[in-house]
Amino acid sequence: MNFIRIRNTACFLAFLLSLSCCSSRKTAAPFSVIPYPQEVEFSDGSFDIAGSRFIVDPSVDDVSLSYIVKFSEELSTVSGRRSSVHRGVSGRGVRFILNTALPAEGYTIDVTGKSAIIGASSYSGFVYAIQTVRQMLPVAIYGGVRSRGDYVLPCVRISDRPRFSYRGVLIDVGRHFYSVDEIKRCLDIMSVYKVNVFHWHLTEDQGWRFESRKYPRLTEVGSVRHGTQIDFDPMHLRPEDHGGYYTQDEMRDVVSYAAERGITVIPELDLPGHLLSALAAYPELGCTGGPYEVANTWGVKKDVLCVGQEKTFTFLEDILTEIMDIFPSEYINIGGDEVPKDRWNACPRCRKKMAELGLADRDGHTAGQYLQNYVTARIQNFLNAHGRKIIGWEEILEGDLAEGVTVMSWRGTGEDVDPRIWNYNSVMSPRGYMYIDRYQSHEQDREPFSIGAYLPVEQLYEYEPYKGVPEYGKERILGVQANLWTEYVNTEEYLEYMLLPRLAALSEVQWCSPEDREFSRFRESMDRHRNIYETMGLTYAKHLWGVIGLPGNEYPARSPEELADYLAGRE
């Protein structure tokens, strides 16, 4: 067969046109796979996958087999033609083979007019291969109900693997709580785009969302706040209580659900700051003894854990023990960001601890910053002793930092970051590109109220993690993460609106080599992906299609001239 490799947009569009001619009986869907595979070669023809036998090599593990069976059942349901799954080493149909020569998350797909062969070396590889196959089929495959269509694949050879091993999305449930069902909906769409880390931000000044059986007041008191700030004025409050938390069984369910989709859940216990919710429940853990209240306004709070007393570390180790029992992830995120030192500097117990440790202002850092290093080191040693590793926001760099940590960089890019970050493994999450709580257009009067700033899909897509990074630093970058903070994201519909379609753009930053990223090709593919969102019943932002606002409150985008007049009127 004559295989043609597709790299540029002109060839890609020509291929889309050719698909309508490659089969007189059935037509393959346009090739709109996101993230775009590393190597793709097309040839004439197509393969009818509906009703095919799925032949799974005996060397493929049972967990991967279960995922393959589930996909065959989905295909059978939507196509109306039954696919069967068998163990074997040969035969026509769709063959799944174990290829240990492939990288851990890599996969291959080889489709001819008579069969399809899918190879991978791990469970994740088979998951990603099937996700690619799903994107090549009619979007009805995402709906789970019988639907007419041509369930055929183009004749194609794909060899694919991710650029980065860490491909994350953070969802903040501390500021606003979302149901387990909504978290699962988010995991479903993360899986479509081969995201492999769900960073679950479970604790905040504004709410504690993790059930602790040893400290029940954390959820009895700390999970509920009285009122919620609704705009930039802290005096403007929504009067209703806001609360919610996840039981330990619910969190285990989410971990299992994510793992089935190739996603690791990394929990975050933000410490020693961002914990007013814990202090409200157990005021003896603070420097002043309270009384404290769960915060109902945003911003950095001065009250933090009192780390001059041992009971604080007993509390933290108890909570982390419960967390480790639920979450099997290699990493536990300990936060460490935005920790004011005011209370420590005035607290007799914390000042005594600084003196005992010989901490003083030096080398451009304060004694309080070195005290936070002491906290970080103690927690690191505790987690290391239990076979886990810590990851935290870049403020943990202040002072001295022990080896073996992973740092999440959020305050800048390239030359703008603290150069010490390159001494540690790092995950890039710069707020200018990866904070997806920001407005998606300049038409803020037509958008739901947001934290501010502006981050359209195009800007996120153009982020290059290696730009401005020294060569030795590039080797330290594990991956990229987007963060969906939720101060003003007060509904599940709004959550999805902020996530999509920026998650699609994120996936190409995380997965694709720079030469395979091309916004015009990506934009063309998004016309199909919006149909995936519709089929999955997800809310999504429609800025790429000239529409602004949440469903029920949508407006056509202003013309360039109208937008210029609008922006001039705001100045």
Residue pair 330/388 in contact (Cβ under 8 Å)? The answer is: yes
Partners of residue 333 on adjacent β-strands: 268, 391
Query: 173 is written with which tokens?
Result: 């449930």
What percent of the chain clears pLDDT 70, i.e. is strictly above it?
A: 96
Mean pLDDT of the chain: 94
pLDDT higher than threshold 50 for residue 427: yes
Partners of residue 85 on adjacent β-strands: 54
pLDDT value of position 29? 77
pLDDT higher than threshold 50 for residue 2: no
Tens of pLDDT along 212-271?
999 999 999 999 999 999 999 999 999 999 999 999 999 999 999 999 999 999 999 999
Residue pair 77/140 in contact (Cβ under 8 Å)? The answer is: no
Q: Among 10-14, 108-112, 172-176, 420-424, where is mean pLDDT lowest?
A: 10-14
Sign of CA dihedral 534, 540, 545, 546: positive
**Rounded mean pLDDT, 199-205:** 98
pLDDT value of position 21? 37
Query: 162 is written with which tokens?
Result: 């991710």
pLDDT value of position 414? 81
Tens of pLDDT along 318-328?
999 999 999 99
pLDDT value of position 317? 98
Q: How far apart are CA 161 and CA 298, in angstroms?
A: 40
Cβ neighbors of 539 (< 8 A, separation 6 or more) are 493, 494, 496, 497, 500, 533, 550, 551
The C-alpha angle 208, 213, 216, rounded to 5 degrees, equals 55
Tens of pLDDT along 495-552?
999 999 999 999 999 999 999 999 999 999 999 999 999 999 999 999 999 999 999 9
What percent of the chain clears pLDDT 90, i.e. is strictly above it?
A: 91
pLDDT value of position 425? 97
Cβ neighbors of 506 (< 8 A, separation 6 or more) are 169, 193, 195, 434, 436, 460, 480, 482
**Rounded mean pLDDT, 92-121:** 97
pLDDT higher than threshold 50 for residue 396: yes
Residue 5 pLDDT level (bands cut at 50, 70, 90): low
pLDDT value of position 441? 94
Q: How far apart are CA 186 and CA 568, in angstroms?
A: 38
**Rounded mean pLDDT, 120-144:** 97
The model carries a pTM of: 0.95
Cβ neighbors of 384 (< 8 A, separation 6 or more) are 404
**Rounded mean pLDDT, 376-383:** 96
pLDDT value of position 395? 94
